[in-house]
Each structure stands twice: as structure tokens, then as C-alpha cells.
Amino acid sequence: MDQIPHNQTKQSRMVFKDVSQNKALKPNEYFGRYLIDSELGRGGMGIVYKAYDTHLKRFVALKVLSQSAKSLGRFMRESSALAQLKHPNIIRLFDFGELPQPYFTMEYVEGVPLSDLIKEKKISAKFLLEIMIKVCDAMGHAHKYNILHRDLKPSNIMISSEQEPIILDFGLAKMTDTKERSLSLKGEVLGTLLYMSPEQFDGKSTTKSDIYSVGATIYEALTFRTVYQGSSYHKILYQTLHGRPIAPRELNPEICPYFEAVCLKCLEKKQTARYKDFRQLTKELQNLKANRPIIAKKYSRWNVARKFIRQNKVVFYGAMLAMAFLFVMFIVTSLWWRDAEGRLHNAQQKFLTTSERQTVIIHKLSLALKHSLQNNNANDDELDVLLSDIDKAIKVGDASQWDFVKEAITVPRKKPVVQNVGMYFAKGLNFLHTGNYLAAIENFTLSIQHNPQHSQSYAQRGTAYHQMKKYDEALHDYAQAIKYDANNVNAYANRAFLYDDLQKDHLAIADYDKAILLKPQSADLYNNRGYFYFTRNQYGLALDDYNKALQLNQQHPIVHANIGNLYYQRQKYSEAIASYKKALIHHQNPQSIYRNLYDCYRQLNDKRNMKFYAQKMRK
């Protein structure tokens, strides 16, 4: 039990002191009913003190805010919400008020900040995994009450004397359902730069922003350095928006590749590429701890190349265009000199003239090609003029050698594009499959405008909305698709996925059943319903559906892999191994199967096969 300070008795008189926003309190000074013991730390939001509550006879952490009056409304509203949080890994909020200036008190926790353990390199990956599972569970609890932290970092995670993580300082917390715009400054940038997500620099914090901060914390604890390095705000901002984190294993090869994969997935710049919520992230970390399969994929050199291309599109496509131009030059030059043997002397005499004319021809070809790509008009007088200029420029060699180039240029206008329902629908499907959901929605909408009863366009647009988490729009489109075609299997199957995400199990099952009724020969539909049952721990029903899928397609690799996961979950490792090996025969991603086989043999303590599949994973 906390002891009353030696200079405080029951008869002490409480003094309400007028505290300046910029003046720090000294030991033995009063702040309302709180007696200051010592300063614990300070930041942009205010100063934190260890103080003694003279009413409740206990030590507390007192934070005196330095926010301006225009933030007071937000502070009071959100403090009320924070007071409702009750989780063993979230610091308890005791009291808050406005006088003598805005403040709140929290439980005083004896312990060591995670940041200190990282600085001293006294944290193991195993202990980090243990505490981050609890931190993520606590953040999921806060998000359930629509509260964001927005300043999660190692210094705000206290490791108590019982080795339990306690999340501190919800001082930047914000309610996600706040509708009063006046309570938050538009575009306000809050939080610590090194742990802020790209969207936070625009003042647009979401639940995914806290997931990013968890990733930055894991990264620092694994590598003992921050994600990005920089001596100024602008350098850190640029790296956060445009840079690529160094893969943790490049800094320390001893780091588990799957822990690295989870960390980097949290740090994705696009919010849609991160975990969808803390519930999913907590489950992911629990699976990692239990050596079960995880969602995140191991980081590879291909990931590095792909991200470089995405972030440097202009450079990449410029290089590709230059290579294409050089290739055309090579072909053109080869054709030009195809009959040059035997006429070397004449060619040498005319070298300068020929080279100059080639340059002119290539330039005119470029103009014609550019015009052709920008215009699809079948009757294009301007293109005819450009082609005529090319003919006039060709005075050396056989003009027929250039015909193949002119033929390629005129192809686009020989087949004029007809913009119809099928055209828009096909373009929409292409964008949907490549992940460009906005473009997909735009083309499906154009298709619907041409044919307002085109059921498949509604169904696929619903899928695009679903991927963007616009659930109401997706449900509307699926309903429209079914309205115009009651036998639209895709609409029922995809709506089942949506109901699954929304955890409306009875509606999901109804749609899975309807889709299978309409298309009973689809192995994929049985597999999808089986996976639904699997995630609900209804293993018997799941296995029945998986077996029905195999009756329709005995070589379906995903079904075999899912059966392996089911047996693994039930600790039937020999049966899991048999299913995983069947999946290997036709699976497009054998690395994930190698990992699962390795995990099975590890559970069986079969070191010879563990070594074999460990080598497979490294290839």
C-alpha cells in the first residue's frame, strides 16, 4: 500500500493554485487535491507527475495538459469515453477535470518502458511476441469502443514488475465516431513522427494507423533501430510517404522470417494491405506463437523489386520505353542493312547521308506511332499525312522494308473500338483482378448505364465495393444482381463472403447453400463453404464439404491444403502431412506448403524432415 508522504498529514490544507500552462510544478506543490511528488516526463501535450491523491490516499500519475482552450471540448468528451476502458493491459483513467487547468489522473505503474529495454537490447523475440499479443488485444478492446490511441510507441508501453505490458498515455486518443468537426482541428498532425502512418501526416487517423504504430514498435524491438532514420521532420516525412523499410532480416538474419512478415504487413503504406483490425492481428500473432500457419507472406527479393516498380513508375516505364525504342532501332537497322553485304564501299561513302535520313525517318515514325496510339478513328486524315511524310523521307534502300512498321502503326485504326456493355464489363473485370477497385467500379457503372439490368455488372461491382469495405454499397449491388437474375451464382457466393466478414453466419450459410443449389458441380463453392465451417470450428461439416469438393476435382490443391490445415488444427499431424503433400503437386505457392509441412514435422520432432523442408523454404 502506498504510504502518505512525510510532509503530508490529514490536517493539511488544500491550496488551489493558478498554474500557468508553461510553468512546471515543483515537488510539494499542490495541484487541486494532488500533492506533487516528482516529474515523470513531458511532451507536446503536457507534463506528467507522480502525485499523491489526498482524498483517496494513493499515488497517481497526474498529467497537466498544455492544450489551448479550443481543444478543451474534445478533451472533455474523449476523456469521458476513455474512462470506460477496462482492460488489464490499458492504464486506468481515474479522474479528469478543467481546474485549475485541464488535467487527468491515471494509475501509477511501477515498471520499465519498453523503449528502455530496446535501448539496452534486453528484449528477446519470444518475450516481444508475448507482450505484443497482449498489446494488440488491448488495442482491439479500445477500438471496440471507437477509441484510437494515435501515439502508440515503445515509450508508451510500460512493462510492469509482473512483466505485463501496460499501454500508457491515451492523451492523443480520439473517438472514431466523433461527428462534431469543431472538436478536432482539420489536418491536425499529432503523434510521434517515427511511429506515425502515412495517413496520419494528413491528419486522417484510422484504426489502421494504430496497427502501423504497432508494426513500427515491433520493428524497433526486433532490429534496435527505428523504421526510418532522419534528422529533420521533412526527411522522416519523405521516407514515411515514399521510402521502403529495410527488411529486418537484412539487419539481423537471426530474426524469424514469419515475425518479419507480420511486422512488414503492419507497415504497409496502403491501409488496405495492413491487417483489417486488431482482432485479426492478435490471432495472427497467436498463430505465430503456436507455430500455426499465418496470413502474412515471407518477404522476398521479388517483394523488393515489385515495391520499387510501384514507387518509381515513371523511371521504370521510362526505362521500358527506352528499351523498346532501342529494340525497334535494332530491328530497323538490321532490316536496313540486310542486303548491305557486297556493297560495303558504297555504304561507307553514303554513311553520313544514310544516318541522317534514318534519324529523320525514326522521328516521323515516332510521330505517327504517338498519333496512332492516341486516336482510334478509322478514317484519320492526319495519320495518312504522317505516313505520306515517311514515304517521302525514304530514299535509301527498299521502301518495302518499312512496311511492317507502318502496318503496326495503322492496326489500331483498322479495328475501331466499340464501347459497349461487354467492353466496359471486360475492362472492369481486368481492373478488379489487378486490384484497381475504383477503376473497376467506374467501368462496371458504365456497363450498367448501357444496360441497367446487367446482373453480372452489379455482382462484380458489389465485389469491388466489398474489397473497399463499402459494405452497404456491396449489399445493394448484390441484391440488384439477384433481382435481375435470380440464378446469379456469383452474386450469392460473393454475398456469402460479405456476410462472413460481417459475422452474420445464418445469412452467409443461406447464400452458400443457394449458390451450391444453383451450381452443384462447383468444387470451389464446396471448398468455400467448408472453409466457413472450419473458421467456426465446425470441423465435421467442414471436412464433409472438402470431401465433396474433392469428388468433383481430385487435384484441387487449395482443398487439399485446407484439409491439411483442418487436421493440423486438430493435432492430427500425420493426416495433415498427407494432405499437404497432395496439395504440393499442383499448388502455385509451394513455399506456404513447405512451411506447413515443416511445422507438422516439428510437432512430431522429426528433425530429418524438418531439415529437409527448412532447406526447401530457403530456396
Q: What is the pLDDT of residues 316-360, one digit of tens each?
A: 556 666 676 666 666 656 655 555 444 444 444 444 344 455 555
Residue 475's nearest CA partner among 455, 494, 451, 448 is: 494
The residue-averaged pLDDT of 362-379 equals: 52
36/7 Cα distance (integer angstroms): 11
**Average confidence (pLDDT) over 51-73:** 79
Q: How far apart are CA 247 and CA 223, in angstroms?
A: 10
Beta partners for 167? 90, 157
- Dump pLDDT digits (tens) for 266-318: 999 999 999 999 999 999 999 999 888 888 875 555 454 555 555 555 555 56
Could you give phi then psi for residue 228, rounded to 5 degrees?
-125, 150
pLDDT, position 332 = 56
User: SS3 for 107?
Assistant: strand
Sign of CA dihedral 472, 474, 475, 477: positive
Pairwise CA distance, residues 155 & 114, whole Å: 6
Q: Cell match 532501342: residue? A: 326
What's the mean pLDDT when you consider all of the chain? 78
pLDDT over 80 at 389, yes or no = no
Strands (DSSP E) contained in 301-404 are none
Secondary structure class of 103 (helix, strand, coil): strand
The closest alpha carbon to 19, from 30, 8, 27, 9, belongs to 30
Confidence of residue 401 (pLDDT cuts 50, 70, 90): very low
Q: Which segments of 375-470 does DSSP mark as H helices, in order?
A: 381-393, 403-414, 421-433, 437-450, 455-467
**Domains of the chain, earliest start first:** 30-107 (3.30.200.20), 112-179+186-311 (1.10.510.10), 313-414 (no CATH), 418-520 (1.25.40.10), 521-619 (1.25.40.10)
The reported pLDDT for the residue numbered 302 is: 47
Residue list, annotated binding site: 63
Position 222 pLDDT exceeds 70:
yes
**Between β-strands 34-43 and 46-53, what pairing exists: parallel, antiparallel or unpaired?**
antiparallel
C-alpha grid cell, residue 294:
499465418
In terms of Cβ atoms closer than 10 Å to its own Cβ (0-12, 13-18, 19+), residue 170 is buried
Three-class SS state of 174: strand
CA distance 96 to 171: 12
Q: Return the residue matching grid coordinates 507502318.
A: 406
Mean pLDDT of 537-555: 93
Q: Which residues contact 292 (CB under 8 A, 6 or more apart)?
A: 568, 569, 599
Mind listing the pLDDT tens digit for each residue in 559-568?
A: 999 999 999 9
Of 289, 15, 282, 247, residue with least CA distance to 125: 289
Mean pLDDT calculated for residue range 135-142? 95
Name the pLDDT band for 5 (thresholds 50, 70, 90).
very low
> pLDDT-derived band of residue 238, with 50, 70 and 90 as boundaries?
confident
Phi-psi region of 293 (alpha: psi -120 to 50; beta: other; left: phi over 0): beta
Contact 368, 409 (CB under 8 A): yes
Distances (CA, A) of 20 to 17, 34, 61, 100, 556: 9, 16, 19, 9, 71
Phi and psi at 89, nearest 5°, equal: -110, 15
Mean pLDDT of 382-408: 49
Helices (H), 85-124: 114-119
CB 93 within 8 A of CB 101: no
**What percentage of the chain has pLDDT greater than the value 90?**
42
C-alpha cell at 277: 483490425
Cα–Cα dist 198/209, whole Å:
8
Name the β-bridge partners of 157.
Answer: 167
Binding-site residue positions for ATP? 63
Q: In 3-state terms, what secondary structure has residue 40?
A: strand
3-class DSSP state of 164: coil
Spatial contact of 483 and 450, defined as CB atoms under 8 Å apart? no
Longest Cα separation, the chain: 117
